[in-house]
Structure 1
């Protein structure tokens, strides 16, 4: 059945009068909206201590991951085997991804806005000091500085890997992507250690709220970017991409550099300036 569908799609592409891809009907958008809904409800129930909240959260996460796998598999088939991703389609996808990154930039701007609003002119409710009295900020020259080195090194590795991929140096490409994933995982591990050793929580005044909101949002993006790069790594190993057609690799690298840049602002503003 799938083979016949593929043949029909190839025939359709042959006689198509335009270079744009009209997406076929798919069950994945509506399904992922429901799985995300389950995951959100489960997260709220879990945070408020309700029974089976964690079960619903884990179920929603599992179902969301499964739907994403099947959805991305269909996109991979459309682009790699059916030839639907023409130059115009790729340009549209890249523009859409850039707009997505811009929306992420504004999400971080909102968090930084909240941080500077409270830190530049501390209110009387927190004693007129920043950090507020009783809060012991983290040492920026311990784990934060190490994580800065790890994340910037990962950005250098992924850039080198991209150039090696275009140059046809397969071994260097695989090694560079692998090192990027390893450094990203180590970064996340140290972030977890930092959180567990911290003397304040997200409930400790506006300092704790803005600290965990900003670094936590960035940490979530690091995890997403790590998955992004890891999938690209697997596709390179399996010869699923070429240097003429590797839009997924390019968007993953763009996303990772965005994560790097945001971390530099976080380190300077939240860790270094905010602790003095």
Structure 2
């Protein structure tokens, strides 16, 4: 047989896809346990498990891509296209929850007292923690853009600094979101409003955590593997994902917090 040259590389078998899939299933199962029995430790364990495994997977991918030379322009284009499709699927994911929210928002029922939010729900002040989180997340969008700018200029130390600052702002956002949940006067089971609120803000919070982990992995790879801007594909993909998280929060803040005040 005549062998033909191609631009793809056959990678060694990897356990990470299977481990992440099992972890995702366990996360869903532990979420059901939390809702049914109030058992929270399993969901914390599974979040930690998925975070660690995802980090190891990304670092291993970086070694294959940058150190072993298993990359090409065609592969980079394929990875970027896959990321675009992934973000598109995430857009439709949040669109379904916004659709559900507007179903109740535009036509309140008798069960909610013909009011939205329902008369029994005390909503958060949109000018307090929500506005602070908005400023934090928008600032993180600026810092990740500045980090990308310095990367293109070849200023790797400044780029690393602003990337680390972006991660810090993401952690701050997650902390304030947690404090807001702790001070909430309603829960997930308090009417359709409580369910819609915690599903939208909760899933967005999970995406912020995933994005922060993505940025942490990128920062590690940035310092270990990136000797030129062309070698930092993961940085570009992480910045796309982070800007997507920013845009979703803008819609959340205006629709969930501002309109209900």
Q: TM-score, normalised by structure 1?
A: 0.86
Deviations 1:22-47, CA, capped at 9 Å, x for gaps: 34333332333333333433443344
Alignment of 1:16-95 (within 5 A): 17-49=5-37, 57=43, 60-95=46-81
- The unaligned stretches of length 5 or more in structure 1 are 1-14
| 1:199 partnered with 2:191 | no
Give the deviation of 1:235 after TM superposition: 2.2
Within 1, Cα distance between the matches of 2:22 and 2:116?
A: 42
Report the CA distance shift for 1:149/1:39 in structure 2 as closer, same or farther (over 3 A).
Answer: closer
- Alignment equivalent of 1:180, drawn from 166, 169, 189: 166
Distance 2:80 2:148 in 1: 17
Q: 1:126 aligns with which of 89, 109, 112?
A: 112
Do structure 1's residue 243 and structure 2's residue 229 form an aligned pair?
yes
Tell me: CA distance 1:59–1:194, structure 2 relative to 1, closer, same or farther (3 Å).
closer
The answer (yes or no) to whether the contact 1:79–1:85 under 8 Å persists in 2 is yes
Question: How far 1:90 sits from its partner (Å)?
Answer: 0.5
Matches within 5 A, 1:208-247: 208-240=194-226, 242-247=228-233
- Number of residue pairs aligned between Structure 1 and Structure 2: 259
State whether residues 232 and 249 of structure 1, in contact with CA within 8 Å, keep that contact through their aligned partners in structure 2.
Answer: yes
Call closer, same or farther: CA 1:204–1:237 in 2, change over 3 Å.
same
Tell me: CA distance 1:74–1:214, structure 2 relative to 1, closer, same or farther (3 Å): same
Aligned counterpart for 2:244 among listed residues 248, 258, 262: 258
Partner of residue 99, structure 1:
85
Q: Measure the CA separation in 1 of the matches of 2:138 and 2:47.
A: 30
CA distance in structure 2 between the aligned counterparts of 1:241 and 1:221, rounded to whole angstroms:
29
Structure of higher RCO (CA pairs closer than 8 Å, 6+ residues apart): 2
Structure 2 residue runs without a partner (length 5+): none
